Amino acid sequence: MSHVRNRSGERGRSFPALGLGALLLGLIVAGACGGNGGEAAAEVAPAASRVESPDQDRPPPGQAWVIFDSDTVRAEVASTPEAREQGLMGRLEVPPGTGMLFVFPDTELRSFWMKDTFVSLDIAFINESFDVVDIKQMEAEDTNLTDSTAPSSFALEVVQGWLEDHGVEIGDRVTIVFGPGLRVS
């Protein structure tokens, strides 16, 4: 993704959390984001965990696992306005099974565009209940806005065709496991 925009052309936002199979990670938002341009960052920390080996059972800092039944995307996390604006711009490739997870401090309709993004992408919009609420395909370097049809808290970008190849559909439930130290602003 190149840039996140809301319907009025301004940069957008959303919120996080959930676990992996037997280790179910609950995440707590320790702060809230304020409006009026003075946004405070929210620290996300594990609430409960049966993790025996953090290195094996959790992604590294700045990353998340987005799990669709038996398929997992290893995603970079874009949780700040700057990271969300940069997105996947300038990348020459996005290997299959990898992508970027956009985490917003609120839930709203989202708009993305592909300016300076050289790889065609699928985007899955995910709500605060971790349900896929919309899926779109975006073509490389397209400067037209791609709008979600439902409010979302997360957006997952992967190489175009990955979602269809793995049977991901609107209504599917996802599990997201975040690496340590996630900050959302």
String of DSSP letters for 122-168: EEEEE-TTSBEEEEEEE-TT--S-EE-SS-EEEEEEEETTHHHHTT-
The whole-number pLDDT of residue 40 equals 29
**Is 2.40.50.140 the CATH number for 3-184?**
no
Confidence bin at 57 (pLDDT 50/70/90): confident
Confidence check: pLDDT of 26 > 80:
no
- Smallest CA-to-CA distance from 178 within 24, 30, 2, 4 is with 24
The whole-number pLDDT of residue 54 equals 47
- Provide the residue ranges of all domains of the chain, joining segments of one domain with +: 3-184
Mean pLDDT of 99-120: 97
Mean pLDDT of 58-79: 96
User: Tokens 């707590």 correspond to what residue?
Assistant: 28
